[in-house]
Structures are given as C-alpha cells and as structure tokens.
Chains A and B, each alone.
Chain A
Amino acid sequence: MKLTLHVNDQDREVDVDPDTPLLWVLREDLRLTGTRFGCGAALCGACTVHLDGRAVRSCVLPVGDLGGQKVHTIESLGGAHPVQVAWCEANVPQCGYCQSGQVMAAAALLASRPKPTREDIDLALSGNICRCGTYPRIRLAIERAAESIASRAVPDKEAP
C-alpha cells in the first residue's frame, strides 16, 4: 500500500504493508538509521521518536495508523539541539545503543516541561532502559539542557 508519511518536515512516499511498524519503515525504507531496534515490544525505549511532539515507541506503531501525524526522528534534532549539546558535555553515552531513544525522550520532556524536577526526569525517562547504567549522567545532561534552554529563552517583556 502506498502511504505518504510526514517525516522530519518532509513528505515521504513509501510502499509498505500498513501493519509494518514505523521503526522498520524509518530504518529500511527511509534509511533513517539513527532510531534503534531494541526489544520490539515497547519495553526498552530504544526506538523512541516523536509523533506530533509526543514520545512514542516506533517498534509497535503500525505505519498505517499514522494518518497525518508528524514524525520526528533523532536526525531532525540536527546535532546542536540543547539536549544533544548537554549530552556531549556530560559524556553521557557508554556503548551508545540506547542513546537516540534517550535523547528523544529527553527532548519530548523538555518540550512539554521546560523546567522539569528531578522526579519529572526520572518519570519521563523511566521507560528508556540503558544497560550500561548511564542514568546519573542522563539526568545531569537533562538538567543542564533545561538550564541552557532557560538561559536562551526570550523574556516575555523587555526590561524598561
């Protein structure tokens, strides 16, 4: 079945079974290989992408169910997103396999809650598993990214 997907701000045509998980279409058809396969059962978070800004598990999302919703993958962050900058500065990754999912979950958190508490961070990332145990650095990087975003925010009103 021919489908038009809205991925990373582009319309992309694919010819796939509508039951195919989005993850496979991203990786195999669109060659966007930054998103990882981990468990294939929405348990580990390695395949996290954004769907209309929300973090979703692409390994269990049938591509035929997307409708007109907008997909953003790790490639769309561009490398200079505050989360990615903070990630590098804090040397978060160890083996790196889960990290694109971690970064996407963190970006979704900061988009919905720019000044998250430590509890917010732990909750939002609780479904993203890192077998290297980089959790303390993930938390640190998210706190730094939040500070970076806050410092760059334009004030509501100019000071007199």
Chain B
Amino acid sequence: MNVQRRLDEVGMACSSCHQASNTPGPHRPPGAPRWGLAPREQVFEGKTPRQLCEALKSPDSNGHRTLEAIQHHLLDDPLVQWAWAPGEGREPVPVPRAEFASAVRIWIESGGLCPEDGQ
C-alpha cells in the first residue's frame, strides 16, 4: 500500500485500512481512534531542536493547541498513546511512556521554552 496524504481526495481514507484499534495478528494494520498522519509541518526529519520546538508550539502548525492542549494531546490522545502499544510485530517507541510523560510535564510547566540551536 502506497500510503499518501492525498488518498482521502480520491475515494479512500485512513479508515479504509486503519480501525479504532490494532487489527489482530503480526504486522496487520495498526489502529487507534482518529487514525491519521501528522501534518507535514510536524515532520521531525531535518529540523533542529529549536525548529522542532517552534513547530510544536506554533498554533498554525499544531492544530491551534495551547501549551495545555499540547500536554493533553501528548499524554492522553489515544493516537499518541498507540506508540507504546503498536500491535504485534512492531516495537514501541524507545522512550518509556513514564519518562516521556515526565519530560513533557517539566517542559510545559516551565513555560515550554525552546532551546537555542546548538544546545
């Protein structure tokens, strides 16, 4: 399957294959409520830590989320939580969920500051 963003314009949607939960069996389509790709602006590759931080915080590229809403998204959204329960045949993300949650809280509670490039 050649997954691309434009598929929803030509009669298919993410939910054509992705259900509200992981399809049972190894390497079957992963699933979570409101499955979808992150917007292009949130692609991590090639960004410096500062650029990534600014993209996360920018209302124009983060779904108009406040810092509080970013925290809710990262810690509570089932689509994000899927990363730690990706289904049979896939490895969870390398950072343990508790460690990730702690880092998010510290960052948000300290004002969501962005690092200088080179830090």
Interchain CB contact under 8 A, A127 and B27: no
Q: How far is the CA of A53 from the CA of B8 in the complex (A)?
A: 12
Interchain CB contact under 8 A, B12 and A55: yes
Q: Is the interface of A mostly helix, strand, loop or mixed?
A: mixed
By beta carbon, the residue of chain B nearest A129 is B1
List A residues 51-80 near B (Cβ within 8 Å): 53-57, 60-62, 65
Tell me which of B12, B23, B25 contacts A108 (CB under 8 A). B12
Q: Is A14 an interface residue (CB 8 A)?
A: no
Known A-B contacts A60-B29, A126-B1; the reply to A54 vs B17 at CB < 8 A is: no
List B residues 4-23 near A (Cβ within 8 Å): 4, 6-7, 9-13, 15-17, 19-20, 23
Interchain CB contact under 8 A, A109 and B23: no
Contact residues in A for B20 (Cβ distance below 8 Å): 65
Q: Is A112 an interface residue (CB 8 A)?
A: yes
Known A-B contacts A41-B29, A65-B20; the reply to A126 vs B2 at CB < 8 A is: yes
Q: For chains A and B in complex, what number of residue pairs have CB atoms within 8 angstroms? A: 70
Q: Is the interface of B mostly helix, strand, loop or mixed?
A: loop
Interchain CB contact under 8 A, A60 and B1: no
Known A-B contacts A41-B23, A60-B29; the reply to A124 vs B16 at CB < 8 A is: no
Q: Is B28 an interface residue (CB 8 A)?
A: yes
Contact residues in B for A109 (Cβ distance below 8 Å): 10-11
Count residues of chain B with CB under 8 A from any CB of chain A. Answer: 21
The number of chain A residues touching the other chain, given as a range, is: 20 to 34
Q: How far is the CA of A67 from the CA of B112 in the complex (A)?
A: 41
Q: How far is the CA of A124 from the CA of B20 in the complex (A)?
A: 23
Interface string of A16-55 (1 = CB under 8 A from B): 0001000000000000000000000111000000000111
Q: How far is the CA of A89 from the CA of B9 in the complex (A)?
A: 27
Interchain CB contact under 8 A, A124 and B17: no
Tell me the minimal C-beta distance from A98 to chain B in angstroms.
14
Q: How far is the CA of A113 from the CA of B25 in the complex (A)?
A: 34
Interchain CB contact under 8 A, A54 and B11: yes
Contact residues in B for A55 (Cβ distance below 8 Å): 11-12, 16
Interchain CB contact under 8 A, B4 and A123: yes
Interchain CB contact under 8 A, A123 and B28: no
Interchain CB contact under 8 A, B11 and A60: no
Contact residues in B for A123 (Cβ distance below 8 Å): 2, 4, 6-7, 10
Given contacts A57-B16, A60-B23, 9 further A-B contacts (CB under 8 A): A41-B23, A42-B23, A60-B17, A65-B20, A110-B11, A113-B9, A126-B1, A127-B1, A127-B2
8 cross-chain pairs, A with B, having the tightest CB-CB distances, nearest first? A108-B11, A124-B10, A42-B17, A126-B2, A127-B1, A112-B11, A109-B11, A60-B23
